[in-house]
Structure 1
Amino acid sequence: AYRLGMFGAIALGDENAVPANLATYDMLAALSFTRDEIGQFGGDKERITLLGHSAGAKYALMIAFSPGISKPGEKRFVNGVIAMSGHSGLETQENTVQRSHAVATELGCEGTAREIVDCLRLLDTDTILEAAYKVHGCNIFSEKTPVLATIAGELFPITNEREMRENKDPIRLMIGTTMYEMVGDAPLNRISRVLGVANAKECYEKYLNDTASGAFVTSFEEKSQEFILTAHLYAKYQADIGGEAYLYEYDYPVHATHTDDAYFVLGFHEFEMDENEKWMDRAYPRYYANFINGRRPAQDWYPVKPNLMNYYSVNRSIVDDVFPHMKFGYQNDLVQYYDGLIKYDNALTLANFMAANAPVEYKSLNFNGDVQDFFESLTIVDGLIFFCFLLGALCLLCCICKCFTRIFCCCCR
C-alpha cells in the first residue's frame, strides 16, 4: 500500500519540511520489509522481482533504475522487473511544487513549507481530497493531476527519464504492451519525457508538423505511443548493455486494450472468456512464473537483440491454428520516427551550443530555425573558422593549466 494523489506526490520545495515522493518511500519501506522477512517464508531476498501494471509498472521501473535507489556499481535493490504497459511517470519539481501549493492555497494553508505542512495536518482526508479534486480534477493523464514521482530529492537525482533509463547496470527485464492500449491524445510533453529530449517544445512542434504534412503517419494515438516507446526504449537499452530483456505484445484482437492482459495475471475477468482466452488464461501465468524463477518466459521466447528488436506476440486462434510466437521489428515504423526525433533533438542541442559559443560575427545567424537548414547554411570556411576558434580556446586552456602546474611546483620546492 502507498499514498495516492496529493498524499503521495506532494512537494513544497523544502525536503526538510516534507520530502518529495512520499509514495515511493512507502513502496521502498514495503520492499525493505519484504527483503528482511522473505527468508522466514522460504524466499530469497536476492531474487526479488517487481511486477507492476500501468502506473505500477512505471513505479517498478523507477525503483529498479533510478540511480538514487539502485546505485550504479552496487547490488540492485531488486533482481528483476516485469513492467506491463508502463508509461512516463516523472514530473519536474517545479510543476509538482506549483500544484501542491495550489491545493494548499485552496485549503487556506499558506506561508513557509513547514507552516503549510502544519496546517494540512489539522485537516481531515476528505477535505484535502475535495480541494485537490477542485483544483486539479481526477484524470490521471491530466498534467494537473499529481499521481507519480517527481524529479527531486535523494530518490531521483536526475534531470530527465533518459538518465534513469540508462542506469548502467544490466537487469532482467520483461516488458510489453497490448495491441491497442489507449485512445486519445496524451498531454503535450509526456512523450517528450519518455524520450528524455532537451528541446521538448521544438520536438513536439516538429511532431505536429510531420503528422499534419503526412511525413509521419501512424494508427496509434499519442497515449498508445507513450506506452510503446517506454517498452521499446527500456528493452533496447538493456539489450545494448548486455541485459536480459524480454519484450512482448499482447495481440489477441478481441480484447487488446489497456488492462486486458492484466486479467490473466490477477485471475479474474470482467468479461466472459472465449476458448482462445481460456487457453491464454492457462499460459499467461506460466510466462510470469518462468521469468520470476530465472528462466525464459517460454521456450521459444528469446531475449531482445538490438538489431532485431524481436518480441513475443501473445495471440491464440484455435480456428486459424495461431499460437504465441516470436516476431521482429517491434512497432518498427513508430520507433524509427522517434529515433529520428531524438537525433533531431541532439542536432538542435548542438546548434544551440554552437550559437552560444560562436565568434561574435556569427552571433547574428538564426539558429532557431530548422536545424538542417542551419547546418546547410554553413560553408566550409565557416566550419574551419569555428573549428579554429574552438582549437584556439583549447590551446589557451592547456597553456593556463601548464602555468598553474609550474607555479605549484615552484611553490613546493
Structure 2
Amino acid sequence: MSRAPRSAGARRDWGSDDSQTPILHVDMDAFFASVELLSRPELRGRPVIVGGRHRGVVLAATYEARASGVHSAMPMTRARVLCPQAIVIAPDHSRYREMSRGVMRILGDITPVIEPLSIDEAFLDVSGARRRLGPPAMIAGRLRTRIAEELGLPASVGIASTKFVAKLASSHAKPDGMLLVPRDATVAFLHSLPVGALWGVGERTEATLARLAIRTVADLAHTPPDTLRAALGESGGRRLLDLAWGRDPRAVEPVRREKSIGHEQTFAENLRDRADLAAVLLDQAHRCAARLRSGGLFAAGVAIKVRGADFTTLTRSRALEAPTDVAHDLYQVARELLAAVAVPPGGVRLLGLRCESLSEAASTAVQVRLDDSGPERRDAELAMDQIRRRYGRSSLTAGSLLPVPTTENARGDLSC
C-alpha cells in the first residue's frame, strides 16, 4: 500500500497519449483488508482494521477507517483512539500469500518483465506486450478487470514513462482507479506535488527543506544545485534534483531475490517465561522453513529480535554450519541465541525469527549432518507442507506446541 503524499489539487487527467509510457505500477487497494472483506461482505462500507486487537501495528485499513486518520504501520493503540468504532480483524498471512500469488499470476499472463515490490504491488514493463494486447492504458484496464473478476479485489494502476512516476501515479489513482501520466506531462505532474512525494524525503529531510522554503517538488526543482548539495550532501541533492525533473533511468528488474525471510509476533501480554518464548520461536521456525521451501531457498544464517516492555529492541544472529530449509535446524540456533539474552524485567513484548543469507536450493550443496536432523526430518516437513496446503495451516503443528493438561513440566524441552 502506497503512503506517498498526495496533492489534493493535483489533476486526475493529464492526457491520453500512452505511446511512450511502457511502465505500469500495480498496487492493490488496502490489500489485507480487501481480502478479509471477501469472506465478510457485511463489513463493506464500514471502518475495518487488520492487525492485533490491542498490540502491534496496523497492517491495513479500509478507506472508511483511513478517513479517521488510521494508516498502515500505526500503533494499534493509536488507531483504536482515532477510530474506536472500527472492526479489528486478526491477520491471516497464509491467505494473503495465496491471493498475492493469484495477482502475480495474472500479471505474469501480461508480461514476464515483472518486478514485485511486496506482496501487493509490482512494476511491469509492457513494451513487449503492445503488439499482442494493445497500448499500455488498454493493458492496465484489462489487468484491473481481470483482478476484480477473478479474485474479487480492487487494484489501482499508474502508467508512466518511468518507475518513479508510475508509482506516484498509482497512489493518485486510488482507490480502485487508473492514472496515465504521458511522458510530456511528467514534469508538470511532478511539480504539482508536495516535496514529500519524492523518494527519500522523509520527515527529517522534509524539515530540512522546509527551512529553505522548499515545500513542493517545483520549489526543489528550481533551487540552485549548490544549495541542495550544502543541505543534503552531494549524492542526496543530485538524486532529488533528478527525480524532481523526472529523470529516472532504472529499468524494471524481473528477478528479485529475497534477502531474508522472517516472522515476528507482538504479544497481547508480555511474556516472561523462557519456555513460552521458546514455543514461539519453534512456531516461527516452522513458518519460516515452510516459506523457504516454497520459494526454493536455503538459509545460511539465523537472527532473532527481542523487544522489551519499554520498546528497547535487540537482535542476535549467527551463521549456520550449513545452509538449511529445515525448521529443526533454524530452531536450534534461534533457541541458543535466545538463551544468551536476558529476559527484560517487564517481559518480552515482541519476538521474531529471521532467516538470512538466502541462496537458491538448486545451487546449494547441502551438508549431511551427524546429529538427528538428517534427510528424514526434511522429508517429514515436506509432508507437513502438503497437508497444510490441502487442509490449512491449523490442520497440523509440532507436537510440542500442543496444549498440555497440566502446567507441571509443560514444554520443559521443546523440540520439533
Provide TM-score, normalisation by structure 1.
Answer: 0.25
Q: Which structure features the higher share of strand residues?
A: 2
Larger Cα Rg: Structure 1 or Structure 2? 1
Provide TM-score, normalisation by structure 2.
Answer: 0.25
Q: Which structure features the higher share of helix residues?
A: 1
